[in-house]
Amino acid sequence: MPHDEGLVGIFSYVDDLLKALERLKQAGYRIENVYTPLHLPEVEDILGKKPSVVRLITLLGGICGGLSTVGLAVYAHLSFSLITSGKPVLPWVPWVIVCFEGTILGAVLSSMVAWVVKGGMPRLRSVPGYDPAFSQDRFGILVACTGSEQEQVRTLLTEAGAGEVRHAAW
């Protein structure tokens, strides 16, 4: 069920944030986003995040890059008919370096594109519920909830230690 509104709980302490995340998860509410000024592995453990697809995209980009550079070398070799006596028509030994370089180039370029796309850049709209204090010393949770659920979520966030609870729409 798509939500277009929710609540943002602002916390001063990490322990309160983690307690609220556990309670929200147990209650079955959908946590849209968690804002922290530093990386917290505990948040990923509670939310059960899956590994990123960037690794797979990097692998596929590397394979495509290596195959395409070898294909380009084969095409160029056969197009110009540079066959000399005693040498194979398609020599594979010099193309190992070409394949390696193409693999690295494809992997790096596909990784950069994947990081930009997965990171949501460029961000054309403001992030719902974001507060500049989340980049300094505060922690936040954006919880998607309907109008009837908002009072329950507000109570849950306040009991967990939220200093402030705001309405957020997106």
CB atoms within 10 A of CB 135: 11
pLDDT of 1 over the 60 cut:
no
pLDDT of 27 over the 80 cut:
yes
pLDDT of 156 over the 50 cut:
yes
Residues 1 and 37: their CA atoms lie apart, in Å, by 30
Tell me, what's the pLDDT at 2? 55
Tell me, what's the pLDDT at 54? 93
pLDDT of 126 over the 80 cut:
no
Ordered by where they begin, the domains of the chain are 5-49+126-169 (3.30.70), 54-118 (no CATH)
User: b vs e for 22-51, b when ≥16 Cβ sit within 10 Å of the residue's Cβ?
Assistant: eebeeeebebbbbbbeeebeebeebeeeee
Assessment of whether the complete model's pTM goes beyond 0.75? no
